[in-house]
Amino acid sequence: MSSLEKPFAITLEVGSSRANHTGSWRTERPEYVRLTAPCGGACPASEDVQQWLYHAEEGAYEQAFRKIMERNPFPAICGRVCYHPCETACNRVQLDEAVGINSVERFLGDQAIAGGWSSPAPAAASGRRVLVIGAGPSGLSAAYHLALLGHAVTVRDAAPAAGGMMRYGIPKYRLPREVLDAELARIAALGVQFQLGRNVSDVISEQLEGRFDAVFLAVGARLGSRTNIPAGSAAKIIDALSLLRDMEDDAAGPPLLGRRVAVYGGGNTAMDAARTAKRLGAEDAVIVYRRTRDRMPAHESELEEALQEGIQVHWLTTIKQADAGRLTVERMELDEHGFPQPTGQFDELQADTLVLATGQQTDLSLLEGVSGIEQEDGVVKVDHNLMTGHDGIFAGGDMVPAERTVTVAIGHGRRAAHGIDRWLRGAPDTATGEPEGSASHTGVGPAPQPVEVPFERLNTWYYSDAPKTVREQLDAVRRSSTFDEVVLGLDESTALFEARRCMSCGNCLACDNCYGVCPDNAVIKLSRGGAYAYEIDYDFCKGCGLCVQECPCGALEMQPELI
């Protein structure tokens, strides 16, 4: 130790006996905090987005992948089909553009598939057995988390292959089947048993015959809503869900739709049906929608991709009559409240096939005669643990009142799995139905209220402009004739760039700003292995607040001095 270092070390040891300490000057003191980034708070699967982005930007891709897998077993799938509400909530959108969270998640998911990375090891066997009815995103997520918790899980589904609407409702150009199969294989590797091609018509009988301790219902919304349109005997009318489901039947071959196809509806399913018709050879694929673009329930990205592929949209139009080769449509106009009203003006629209995409319903017939289960508006009532009114029977996904997306369903599966685990073990209930330390935005029951960091709390002077990386897309010519994936992924350099755009909202990123600007040398640098990178020596901090002002991520706040 040098002669210059030794006196400094001695003065730290005596601490409060130093004559020039300034702690008594304070009325407020800075404190390090750990707050919630808005991206994680908006994730329906409750992913710790900021934490896995941190690992990703360090190049620790497998560690980032495993952080995602704590909450979501489908990063490669969600990186393709999730509508990324995390990016809508991202604070960076107020600086330049949101961090490309979804694209980085896809990159990590693809890295995991290429590298053969496995799921975590399950806990010791509990001796309990759980039946999952439905092999869609909610049922598969529940099976994954239940298996990790040590329970024996059996998944039953009427379809010949697992995946639910991910396989039978999302076209291959959005979700390649090799990606879907690779992520499903990880769940099977945990010991989950799949019994496919098996329709369940009586829940109680299935539970008793199989001696299952609990049941999770996740049958999904696989029935198309009925629309009463007068039609001639020769009119060809099919349901959009049937069209998309038939695309998975290799034996039957692709459906024959004709040269002119009209799709009635305005949701994401309508977009998929029209784009599929175009790929099947339709020269004209037209979407008929009774409202205006701003009222369309389809996500903007889905509509934009459809328009790029030559799909036409007839706004403020409704179908009055369907006949062979043609439709009679009526023009609508908005009233003073913004609702469409008929005008009495009619046109003809040439169409060889009419595809109905006016909504989806859940088949709840398997619940007939089950005591305690309440139904309302085609869904099942559940508590905050996603348990129905019948003890030991839980439900999630499209069966319960919530937004119908893959990521919401995945969040339901995890939430139900932990609720089932607590119920099986007789553990105390929680206020939210979530395991400790998690956040839930799955749309069912009360959600915790995390302290999220607003944009105004960040010191964005330290962040240079770095616009979001735009993912490349397949050429329009190839998109209209093949089912090749349309939106392409990032390479390693662009994925790293996107991850490093994260501003670490509300959590210390060890940038040394506080350490460097403190005029009193009151900030002490710690080893990176601890919970925090720094601590404050309050004997010498005079409460000037410079460290708080200069913290780029809002991880410091001033608190009233304790007396």
Residue 400 in tokens: 């319960």
Most confident of 104-113, 371-380, 517-526, 530-539: 104-113
Q: Assess if residue 530 is contained within a domain.
A: yes
Q: 428: pLDDT confidence band, cut at 50, 70 and 90?
A: confident
Q: Assess if residue 387 is contained within a domain.
A: yes
Q: Which long-range contacts (CB under 8 A, 24 or more apart) does 290-295 make?
A: 290/266, 290/316, 290/317, 290/318, 290/332, 290/340, 291/266, 291/315, 291/316, 291/332, 291/340, 292/316, 292/334, 295/266, 295/338
Which DSSP category does 67 fall into?
H
More confident residue, 91 or 440: 91
Residue 430 has pLDDT above 70, yes or no: no
Q: Rounded to whole angstroms, what are the CA distances from 377 to 179, 372, 383, 545? A: 35, 17, 17, 55
**For 428, left (φ over 0), alpha (ψ -120 to 50), or beta?**
beta
Are residues 85 and 24 located together in one domain of the fold? no
**For 397, left (φ over 0), alpha (ψ -120 to 50), or beta?**
left
The residues facing 400 across adjacent strands are none
pLDDT at position 140 is: 98
Q: Assess if residue 392 is contained within a domain.
A: yes
Residue 20 has pLDDT above 80, yes or no: no
Of 387, 408, 425, the one marking the end of a domain is 425
Containing structural domain, residue 331:
225-358
Closest by CA position to 191, among listed 116, 118, 122: 122
Q: Assess if residue 431 is contained within a domain.
A: no
Are residues 311 and 235 located together in one domain of the fold? yes
- Residues 26-69: pLDDT tens digits? 889 999 998 899 999 999 999 999 999 999 999 999 999 999 99
Which CATH number belongs to the domain containing residue 303 in this structure?
3.50.50.60
Q: Assess if residue 446 is contained within a domain.
A: no
pLDDT at position 517 is: 95
Q: Is 504 helix (H, G, I), strand (E, B) or coil?
A: coil
- Residues 451-471: pLDDT tens digits? 789 999 999 988 888 888 889
CA distance 475 to 468: 21
pLDDT at position 304 is: 94
Residue 13 has pLDDT above 80, yes or no: no
Residue 8 has pLDDT above 70, yes or no: no
pLDDT at position 52 is: 97
Q: Assess if residue 434 is contained within a domain.
A: no
Report the number of distinct structural domains present in the chain: 4
Residues comprising the chain, all counted: 563
Q: Assess if residue 432 is contained within a domain.
A: no
What value does the mean pLDDT of the chain take? 89
Q: Assess if residue 444 is contained within a domain.
A: no
Which CATH number belongs to the domain containing residue 14 in this structure?
3.30.70.20
- Residues 501-540: pLDDT tens digits? 999 999 998 899 999 999 999 999 987 666 678 999 999 9
